[in-house]
Amino acid sequence: MKTKYMNPYLAGVLLGLVLLMAFFFSGRGLGASGAVKSVVVAAVDVVAPEHAANSGFYSKYVGEGKSPMKAWLVFEMIGVLVGGFLSGAFSGRLKWKVEHFPGITANRRLVFAGIGGILFGFGSQLGRGCTSGSALTGMASLSVAGFVSMMAIFGTAFALAYFLRKNWI
Protein backbone atom coordinates (compact mmCIF):
# COMPACT_ATOMS: atom_id res chain seq x y z
CA MET A 1 0.00 0.00 0.00
CA LYS A 2 1.33 3.42 -0.93
CA THR A 3 1.29 5.89 1.92
CA LYS A 4 2.23 9.49 2.52
CA TYR A 5 3.19 8.70 6.11
CA MET A 6 6.43 7.42 7.62
CA ASN A 7 7.04 3.68 7.79
CA PRO A 8 5.34 2.68 11.08
CA TYR A 9 8.23 0.57 12.35
CA LEU A 10 10.69 3.42 11.72
CA ALA A 11 8.29 5.84 13.44
CA GLY A 12 8.06 3.42 16.37
CA VAL A 13 11.84 3.24 16.76
CA LEU A 14 12.07 7.06 16.64
CA LEU A 15 9.26 7.43 19.19
CA GLY A 16 11.03 4.88 21.40
CA LEU A 17 14.25 6.91 21.17
CA VAL A 18 12.35 10.08 22.17
CA LEU A 19 10.97 8.20 25.18
CA LEU A 20 14.44 6.87 26.02
CA MET A 21 15.79 10.42 25.84
CA ALA A 22 13.16 11.52 28.39
CA PHE A 23 14.18 8.66 30.69
CA PHE A 24 17.91 9.34 30.28
CA PHE A 25 17.74 13.10 30.83
CA SER A 26 14.77 13.60 33.16
CA GLY A 27 14.30 10.15 34.72
CA ARG A 28 10.69 10.01 33.59
CA GLY A 29 8.67 9.18 30.49
CA LEU A 30 6.17 10.85 28.19
CA GLY A 31 2.63 11.99 29.01
CA ALA A 32 -0.29 14.04 27.76
CA SER A 33 -3.35 14.11 30.03
CA GLY A 34 -1.25 15.36 32.97
CA ALA A 35 -0.64 18.63 31.12
CA VAL A 36 -4.39 19.16 30.63
CA LYS A 37 -4.89 18.45 34.34
CA SER A 38 -2.37 21.20 35.14
CA VAL A 39 -4.33 23.68 33.03
CA VAL A 40 -7.63 22.67 34.68
CA VAL A 41 -6.10 23.04 38.16
CA ALA A 42 -4.58 26.43 37.28
CA ALA A 43 -7.89 27.68 35.84
CA VAL A 44 -9.91 26.60 38.88
CA ASP A 45 -7.28 28.17 41.14
CA VAL A 46 -7.72 31.51 39.34
CA VAL A 47 -11.52 31.44 39.16
CA ALA A 48 -12.25 29.93 42.57
CA PRO A 49 -9.09 29.91 44.75
CA GLU A 50 -10.95 29.01 47.95
CA HIS A 51 -12.66 26.05 46.30
CA ALA A 52 -9.28 24.87 44.98
CA ALA A 53 -7.65 25.14 48.40
CA ASN A 54 -10.45 23.17 50.09
CA SER A 55 -10.80 20.45 47.42
CA GLY A 56 -9.15 17.07 47.99
CA PHE A 57 -8.11 17.03 44.31
CA TYR A 58 -6.90 20.57 43.51
CA SER A 59 -5.26 21.17 46.91
CA LYS A 60 -2.57 18.61 46.00
CA TYR A 61 -1.27 21.00 43.33
CA VAL A 62 -1.96 24.54 44.61
CA GLY A 63 -0.92 26.63 47.61
CA GLU A 64 2.21 28.30 48.95
CA GLY A 65 5.13 27.98 46.52
CA LYS A 66 3.28 25.59 44.19
CA SER A 67 2.53 26.53 40.62
CA PRO A 68 0.50 23.95 38.65
CA MET A 69 1.64 25.28 35.27
CA LYS A 70 5.34 24.86 36.13
CA ALA A 71 5.19 21.17 35.34
CA TRP A 72 7.35 18.98 33.10
CA LEU A 73 4.33 17.74 31.12
CA VAL A 74 3.08 21.28 30.41
CA PHE A 75 6.36 22.14 28.69
CA GLU A 76 6.42 18.77 26.94
CA MET A 77 2.90 19.29 25.54
CA ILE A 78 3.80 22.79 24.28
CA GLY A 79 6.57 20.95 22.46
CA VAL A 80 4.06 18.45 21.03
CA LEU A 81 2.03 21.34 19.58
CA VAL A 82 5.19 22.78 17.99
CA GLY A 83 6.45 19.38 16.76
CA GLY A 84 3.08 18.39 15.32
CA PHE A 85 2.75 21.74 13.58
CA LEU A 86 6.27 21.52 12.13
CA SER A 87 5.61 18.01 10.83
CA GLY A 88 2.31 19.12 9.29
CA ALA A 89 4.02 22.12 7.65
CA PHE A 90 6.91 19.95 6.43
CA SER A 91 4.54 17.41 4.82
CA GLY A 92 1.92 19.87 3.54
CA ARG A 93 -0.84 18.73 5.90
CA LEU A 94 -1.75 22.04 7.58
CA LYS A 95 -5.45 22.44 6.90
CA TRP A 96 -8.60 23.35 8.82
CA LYS A 97 -10.88 20.36 8.56
CA VAL A 98 -13.28 18.04 10.32
CA GLU A 99 -12.02 14.61 9.32
CA HIS A 100 -14.74 11.97 9.22
CA PHE A 101 -15.91 8.80 7.52
CA PRO A 102 -17.97 9.91 4.46
CA GLY A 103 -20.97 7.92 5.72
CA ILE A 104 -21.56 10.32 8.62
CA THR A 105 -21.96 14.10 8.87
CA ALA A 106 -19.31 16.45 10.21
CA ASN A 107 -21.63 17.41 13.08
CA ARG A 108 -22.04 13.79 14.14
CA ARG A 109 -18.24 13.40 14.09
CA LEU A 110 -17.83 16.48 16.32
CA VAL A 111 -20.42 15.28 18.85
CA PHE A 112 -18.73 11.89 19.15
CA ALA A 113 -15.29 13.54 19.37
CA GLY A 114 -16.55 15.64 22.29
CA ILE A 115 -18.05 12.64 24.12
CA GLY A 116 -14.88 10.61 23.54
CA GLY A 117 -12.75 13.44 24.90
CA ILE A 118 -14.85 13.71 28.07
CA LEU A 119 -14.57 9.95 28.68
CA PHE A 120 -10.83 9.93 27.97
CA GLY A 121 -10.24 12.90 30.27
CA PHE A 122 -12.21 11.34 33.11
CA GLY A 123 -10.64 7.90 32.61
CA SER A 124 -7.11 9.31 32.48
CA GLN A 125 -7.52 10.72 35.98
CA LEU A 126 -9.10 7.58 37.41
CA GLY A 127 -6.44 5.42 35.72
CA ARG A 128 -3.50 7.70 36.65
CA GLY A 129 -2.42 8.48 33.09
CA CYS A 130 -3.42 7.96 29.47
CA THR A 131 -2.03 5.99 26.54
CA SER A 132 1.31 7.79 26.56
CA GLY A 133 1.83 8.37 30.29
CA SER A 134 0.52 5.13 31.73
CA ALA A 135 0.43 2.59 28.90
CA LEU A 136 3.46 3.41 26.69
CA THR A 137 5.81 4.78 29.35
CA GLY A 138 4.62 2.19 31.87
CA MET A 139 5.28 -0.70 29.49
CA ALA A 140 8.77 0.58 28.68
CA SER A 141 9.61 0.61 32.39
CA LEU A 142 7.92 -2.83 32.77
CA SER A 143 5.41 -1.50 35.30
CA VAL A 144 2.31 -3.61 35.99
CA ALA A 145 0.18 -0.45 35.71
CA GLY A 146 1.48 0.09 32.17
CA PHE A 147 0.48 -3.37 30.94
CA VAL A 148 -2.89 -3.20 32.75
CA SER A 149 -3.66 0.22 31.20
CA MET A 150 -2.65 -0.95 27.73
CA MET A 151 -4.83 -4.07 27.88
CA ALA A 152 -7.83 -2.25 29.40
CA ILE A 153 -7.71 0.61 26.86
CA PHE A 154 -7.20 -1.47 23.71
CA GLY A 155 -9.35 -4.38 24.94
CA THR A 156 -12.32 -2.09 25.59
CA ALA A 157 -11.92 -0.27 22.28
CA PHE A 158 -11.92 -3.63 20.43
CA ALA A 159 -14.92 -4.85 22.44
CA LEU A 160 -16.97 -1.74 21.60
CA ALA A 161 -15.82 -1.42 17.96
CA TYR A 162 -18.77 -3.41 16.63
CA PHE A 163 -21.31 -1.02 18.19
CA LEU A 164 -19.61 2.06 16.72
CA ARG A 165 -18.83 0.61 13.28
CA LYS A 166 -21.23 2.96 11.48
CA ASN A 167 -19.06 5.90 12.54
CA TRP A 168 -15.91 4.47 10.97
CA ILE A 169 -16.58 1.88 8.22
Partner 1 sequence: MGPLVPQEIIGADWNFFIAFVVGIGFGFVLEQAGFSSSRKLAGMFYGYDTVVLKVFFTAAITAMLGLLFFSLFGWINLNLIYVNPTFLGSAIAGGVIMGAGFIIGGFCPGTSVCAAAIGKIDAMVFVGGIFLGIFIFAEGYPLLEDFYMSGSMGPIKVSDVLGISGGVMALLVIIAALVMFKLGELAEKKWPREEY
Q: How far is the CB of 106 from partner 1 (least distance, A)?
A: 8
Which positions from 3 through 62 interact with partner 1, judged by CB under 8 A? 3-6, 8-9, 11-33, 36-37, 39-41, 44, 55-58
C-alpha neighbours within 13 Å on the C-beta side of residue 47: 7
Which positions from 108 through 147 interact with partner 1, judged by CB under 8 A? 109-110, 112-147
Give the burial class of 114: count Cβ atoms within 10 A of its Cβ; 0-12 exposed, 13-18 middle, 19 or more buried.
exposed
Q: How far is the CB of 55 from partner 1 (least distance, A)?
A: 7
| The binder of partner 1 chosen from 49, 53, 161, 166 (CB under 8 A) | 161
- C-alpha triplet 17, 88, 134: angle, nearest 5°: 40
- Residues 46-67 as b or e (16 or more Cβ within 10 Å = b): eeeeeebeeeeebeebbeeeee
Q: How far is the CB of 39 from partner 1 (least distance, A)?
A: 7
Which positions from 72 through 101 interact with partner 1, judged by CB under 8 A? 72-88, 91, 93-101
| Residue among 66 and 154 whose Cβ is closer to partner 1 | 154
Q: Please name which of 5, 7, 18 lies closest in space to residue 136, comparing C-alpha atoms.
A: 18
Q: How far is the CB of 64 from partner 1 (least distance, A)?
A: 20
Number of residues counted as binding partner 1 (CB under 8 A): 126
Contact (Cβ atoms closer than 8 angstroms) between residue 72 and residue 83 = no
Residue 104 lies near partner 1 (rule: CB under 8 A): no
